[in-house]
């Protein structure tokens, strides 16, 4: 079975994670896909595949006899999708021999997948393009990764490709930042791994953002506006002042590549109280630390101006740049990924991640884990798309990696 055929099945199982939930997994529907995958593993001849009570899926393909001393390689993807545009039945649409032009998606809102929005579409001409019907996400992030890993496993087993032990893991709740929270590195049993959670086939990513959540809570003084002089402290206006104090031109809309940012995710409030929620990102460790110090200084200055206790700043550091781990004796993962791409007739694309993956946190948990592309584009919205051919190439890259590490007895 080709990877895209699996994808067409998996995306119909809705698995949005829920950032407001305190359960693990954050949504019970993720178990539906996990159980489907366990049954599929068993049908492939891997009866020891299992899912735990927190919806993590683990499986191992035992080493070919004589290859037990090869490095143990792992592949990881996530089961969940974003919750945005995921409130309806997901209907995948297959467009064969795509002409490289604007494509009406046919949904109720009349959305069009346009070349002006996604210039790379012209390069997909002649391929089999897969989208949603425009009303929902497709779910290729990251069910494409799941489908490609399952297809790789099937091929290794049915084609008798010599290999060391191959470990497979699927995580819940990656989209709400909790995918690695309960991942059992010891149970996974690999020397290193790759997450299959990138974009264009051939992407190789080992540099991601350092990341933090930052929340300003502002306490105002609310009195009648007729007698407010020198008494009122308008929390909503203080919130606006805080945002204005941030460096100009350092938002996601103003930055690219290795440039960091402050991103105002949400804001709420009135005269009495207000709240600003930011995410802070930077690839460079020192610059990241400086960004956090900037926030602390703004909080300090607001309290000096408006009174102690007016502003409370809470910073929660989320993940770090995995380059620190990969560059420390693990660059073979990148060099071999480049070799695997070339062997699969795919151009290697070494790109920084303007975000993070499970692999970033797993790398600091003792499992070096760069990220590879799956062939998808336009994630987290109704314009999400992928090609069958791009997925095939991503599978080939994994197969070539298996072969490369099987040579290292």
Query: In the numeric block, which tokens belong to residue 20?
Result: 């407001």
Q: Note the pLDDT of residue 409.
A: 76
Query: pLDDT tens, position by position, for the chain (409 residues)?
Result: 999 999 999 999 999 999 899 999 999 999 999 999 999 999 999 999 999 999 999 999 999 999 999 999 999 999 999 999 998 999 999 999 999 999 999 877 889 999 999 999 999 999 999 999 999 999 999 999 999 999 999 999 999 999 999 999 999 999 998 999 999 999 999 999 999 999 999 999 999 999 999 999 999 999 999 999 999 999 999 999 999 999 999 999 999 999 999 999 999 999 999 999 999 999 999 999 999 999 999 999 999 999 999 999 999 998 999 999 999 999 999 999 999 999 999 999 999 988 887 899 999 999 999 999 999 999 999 999 999 999 999 999 999 999 999 998 7
Q: Which residues are annotated as a binding site?
A: 78, 141, 175, 197, 380
79-131 residue pLDDT tens:
999 999 998 999 999 999 999 999 999 877 889 999 999 999 999 999 999 99
Separation of alpha carbons 405 and 41, rounded Å? 23
Separation of alpha carbons 265 and 161, rounded Å? 47
Separation of alpha carbons 190 and 281, rounded Å? 30
**Residue closest to 29 by CA, chosen among 177, 148, 139:** 139
The CATH T-level fold of domain 1-205+320-405 is Aminopeptidase (3.40.630)
Name residues whose C-beta falls within 8 Å of residue 9's C-beta, 6 or more positions apart in sequence.
none
Q: Note the pLDDT of residue 356.
A: 80
List the chain domain ranges. 1-205+320-405, 208-317
Please state, in angstroms and as integers, the Cα–Cα distance from residue 56 to each residue in 183, 205, 231, 409, following that order. Answer: 7, 24, 55, 30
Name residues whose C-beta falls within 8 Å of residue 295's C-beta, 6 or more positions apart in sequence.
214, 262, 278, 280, 313, 315
| Paired sense of beta strands 166-171 and 73-78, if any | parallel
Separation of alpha carbons 104 and 338, rounded Å? 36
Q: What are phi and psi of 10, to 5 degrees?
A: -65, -35
Q: What DSSP letter does each residue of 98-138 carry, written as one string?
A: --SS-EE--STT--EE-TTT-GGGGGGTTS-EEE--SSS--
Q: Note the pLDDT of residue 108.
A: 78
Contact 211, 280 (CB under 8 A): yes
Kindly compute the dihedral angle of the four CA atoms of residues 389, 390, 394, 400, in this order, to the nearest 10 degrees.
50
Q: Note the pLDDT of residue 70.
A: 97
9-23 residue pLDDT tens:
999 999 999 989 999
Contact 310, 233 (CB under 8 A): yes
Angle at 121 between CA 118 and CA 124, to 5 degrees: 155
Contact 321, 360 (CB under 8 A): yes
Query: In the numeric block, which tokens belong to residue 357?
Result: 């993956």
Q: What are phi and psi of 224, to 5 degrees?
A: -60, 130
Q: Note the pLDDT of residue 107.
A: 75
Separation of alpha carbons 190 and 100, rounded Å? 41
Quick one: DSSP state of residue 227?
A: G
Q: Which residues are annotated as a binding site for Zn(2+)?
A: 78, 141, 175, 197, 380
Please state, in angstroms and as integers, the Cα–Cα distance from residue 114 to each residue in 21, 92, 101, 105, 253, following that order. Answer: 35, 18, 7, 10, 20
Which amino acids are annotated catalytic?
80, 174
Please state, in angstroms and as integers, the Cα–Cα distance from residue 385 to each residue in 76, 129, 375, following that order. Answer: 21, 7, 9
Q: Note the pLDDT of residue 295.
A: 98
What's the chain's length in residues? 409
pTM: 0.90
218-256 residue pLDDT tens:
999 999 999 999 999 999 999 999 999 999 999 999 999
Number of C-beta neighbours around residue 328 at 10 A:
10
Query: Token pair 């068993």 is at which residue?
Result: 42
The CATH T-level fold of domain 208-317 is Alpha-Beta Plaits (3.30.70)
Q: Note the pLDDT of residue 285.
A: 93
Q: Note the pLDDT of residue 72.
A: 98
Q: Note the pLDDT of residue 357.
A: 79
Contact 131, 377 (CB under 8 A): no
Q: What DSSP letter does each residue of 153-189 carry, written as one string?
A: HHHHHHTT---S-EEEEEES-GGGT-TTTT--HHHH-
Contact 147, 10 (CB under 8 A): yes
Separation of alpha carbons 62 and 163, rounded Å? 8
CA 355 to chain centre: 7
């Amino acid at each position: 079975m080709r990877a895209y055929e699996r994808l067409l099945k998996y995306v119909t199982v809705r698995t949005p994670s829920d950032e407001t939930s305190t359960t693990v997994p954050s949504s019970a529907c993720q178990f539906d896909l996990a159980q489907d995958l366990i049954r599929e593993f068993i049908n492939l001849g891997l009866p020891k595949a299992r899912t735990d009570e927190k919806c993590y899926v683990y499986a191992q393909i035992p080493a070919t006899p004589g290859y037990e001393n090869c490095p143990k390689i792992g592949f990881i993807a996530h089961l969940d999708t974003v919750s945005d545009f995921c409130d309806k039945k997901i209907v995948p649409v297959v467009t064969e021999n795509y002409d490289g032009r604007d494509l009406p998606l046919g949904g109720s809102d009349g959305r069009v997948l346009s070349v002006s929005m996604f210039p790379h579409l012209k390069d997909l001409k002649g391929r089999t393009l897969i989208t949603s019907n425009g009303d929902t996400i497709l779910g290729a992030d990251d069910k494409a990764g799941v489908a490609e890993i399952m297809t790789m496993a099937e091929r290794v087993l049915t084609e008798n490709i010599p290999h060391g032990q191959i470990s497979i893991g699927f995580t819940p709740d990656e989209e709400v930042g909790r995918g690695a929270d309960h991942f059992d590195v010891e149970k996974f049993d690999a020397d290193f791994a790759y997450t299959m959670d990138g974009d264009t086939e051939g992407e190789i990513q080992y540099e991601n953002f350092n990341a933090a959540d930052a929340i300003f809570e502002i306490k105002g003084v609310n009195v009648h506006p007729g007698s407010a002089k020198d008494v009122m402290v308008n929390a909503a206006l203080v919130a606006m002042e805080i945002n204005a104090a941030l460096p100009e031109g350092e938002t996601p809309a103003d930055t690219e590549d290795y440039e960091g940012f402050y991103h105002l995710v949400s804001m709420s409030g009135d005269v009495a109280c207000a709240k600003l929620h930011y995410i802070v990102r930077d690839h460079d460790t020192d610059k990241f630390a400086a960004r956090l110090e900037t926030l602390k200084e703004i909080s300090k200055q607001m309290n000096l101006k408006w009174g102690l206790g007016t502003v409370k700043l809470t910073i929660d550091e989320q993940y770090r740049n995995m380059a620190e781990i990969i560059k420390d004796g693990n660059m073979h993962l990148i060099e071999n990924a480049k070799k695997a791409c070339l062997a699969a007739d795919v151009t290697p694309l070494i790109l920084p991640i303007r975000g993070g993956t499970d692999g970033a946190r797993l790398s600091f948990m003792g499992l070096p884990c760069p990220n590879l592309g799956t062939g998808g584009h336009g994630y987290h919205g109704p314009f999400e798309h992928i090609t069958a051919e791009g997925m095939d190439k991503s599978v080939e890259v994994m197969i070539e990696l298996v072969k490369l590490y099987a040579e290292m007895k």
